[in-house]
């Protein structure tokens, strides 16, 4: 096909739609602001252009242009740094922090999404080049669906069983079921916790999941997600009601405690189930021979 304009246009359009669909800005996903979204849509447009131009450049053939495209793709490494820096700066003024593992995960996802956009644009413009623009309308939805499927990771609900835990005191020790959370001194704080505190038990299904829940980064992610939806009664200089996740050291499950603004236990369990499993803390012991042997 000689009409390079049309080839590039469908590639860019497919890539931009893909980036827009990948731009999730629900309760826990950054960006949540119109400006943050604009930044990413603009970058998505650049990524889509890169992918779309590649095929006509080879077809022409203009190999110098292709070399420049490869150089331009390097720019997307910066996206990860940009996201990491922004989120780290925001972290300093948060009452309940996200944790570095979560930030690293988010930053990596942002970088990866741009590569997926390049791939979609490349496939679409390739199809348009080889088989005409009509083919591009078939290939682009398929590749967009594929990228959406690729980018959905697993959730805590997939690797662990989440159920209600009983908040109670043994002397001055706050417990959720049989897990010690912390020592609480003041009687009025204990009463408040007994009245309003919520506890859940997060029980891993296998050894991989146990290692995953062990990681403090994963626990921080759980706490952050819950607090960002249900709220917490922590204030500056009043950290007594800090939400915490502690592990049962013998059995390996987690107990999670929170005094929330919206004390809804069912929703709490659902939110915990929907927390993403972080890439950097994922346990892989069952993939190794010795890990499998030790597990049985």
Q: Does residue 261 belong to the site contacting other proteins (CB under 8 A)?
A: no
Q: Does residue 93 belong to the site contacting other proteins (CB under 8 A)?
A: no
Nearer to other proteins (CB atom), residue 74 or residue 183 = 183
Q: Count the residues of the shown chain that bind other proteins, applying the rule CB under 8 A.
A: 15
Nearer to other proteins (CB atom), residue 10 or residue 259 = 259
DSSP for 67-103, written as a single string:
HHHHHHHGGGHHHHHHHHHHHHHHHTT-SS---HHHH
Shortest spacing between CB 222 and other proteins, in angstroms: 19
Nearer to other proteins (CB atom), residue 239 or residue 284 = 239
CA distance 274 to 216: 18
Shortest spacing between CB 227 and other proteins, in angstroms: 17
Shortest spacing between CB 56 and other proteins, in angstroms: 51
From the list 34, 183, 249, 293, which residue makes contact with other proteins (rule: CB under 8 A)? 183
Which of these ranges, 21-29, 195-203, 231-239, 286-294, lies near other proteins under the rule CB under 8 A? 231-239
Which of these ranges, 119-127, 140-148, 233-241, 265-273, lies near other proteins under the rule CB under 8 A? 233-241
Whether residue 125 contacts residue 242, with contact meaning beta carbons closer than 8 Å, is answered with no
Nearest to 44 by CA among 104, 113, 108, 105: 113
Nearer to other proteins (CB atom), residue 86 or residue 97 = 97
Q: Name residue 197's beta-bridge partners.
A: 259
DSSP 178: T
Q: Does residue 171 belong to the site contacting other proteins (CB under 8 A)?
A: yes
DSSP 24: -
Nearer to other proteins (CB atom), residue 244 or residue 267 = 244
DSSP 277: P
Q: Which phi and psi angles does 160 have, rounded to 5°?
A: -150, 155
Q: Does residue 89 belong to the site contacting other proteins (CB under 8 A)?
A: no
CA distance 129 to 7: 6
CA distance 128 to 15: 14
For other proteins, the binding residues (CB under 8 A) are 171-172, 183-189, 236-240, 242
């Amino acid at each position: 096909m000689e009409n390079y304009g049309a080839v590039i246009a469908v590639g860019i359009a497919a890539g931009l739609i893909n980036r827009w669909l990948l731009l999730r800005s629900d309760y826990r996903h950054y960006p949540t602001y119109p400006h943050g979204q604009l930044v990413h849509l603009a970058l998505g447009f650049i990524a889509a252009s890169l992918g779309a131009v590649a095929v006509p450049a080879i077809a022409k053939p203009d190999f110098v242009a292709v070399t420049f495209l490869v150089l331009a793709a390097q720019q997307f490494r910066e996206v990860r740094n940009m996201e990491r820096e922004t989120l780290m700066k925001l972290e300093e003024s948060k009452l309940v922090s996200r944790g570095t593992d979560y930030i690293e995960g988010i930053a990596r996802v942002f970088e990866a999404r741009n590569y997926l956009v390049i791939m979609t644009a490349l496939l679409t413009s390739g199809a348009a080049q080889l088989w005409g623009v009509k083919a591009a309308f078939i290939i682009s939805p398929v590749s967009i669906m594929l990228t959406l499927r690729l980018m959905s990771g697993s959730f805590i609900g997939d690797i662990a069983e989440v159920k209600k835990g009983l908040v109670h005191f043994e002397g001055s020790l706050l417990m959720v079921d049989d897990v010690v959370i912390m020592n609480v001194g003041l009687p009025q704080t204990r009463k408040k916790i007994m009245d309003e505190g919520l506890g859940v038990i997060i029980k891993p299904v296998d050894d991989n999941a146990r290692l995953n829940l062990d990681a403090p980064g994963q626990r921080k992610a759980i706490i952050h997600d819950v607090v960002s939806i249900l709220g917490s009664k922590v204030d500056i200089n009043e950290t007594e009601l800090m939400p915490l996740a502690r592990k049962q050291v013998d059995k390996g499950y987690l107990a999670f405690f929170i005094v929330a603004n919206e004390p809804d236990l069912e929703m709490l369990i659902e939110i915990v189930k929907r927390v993403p499993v972080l890439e950097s803390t994922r346990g892989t012991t069952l993939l190794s021979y010795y890990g499998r042997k030790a597990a049985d």
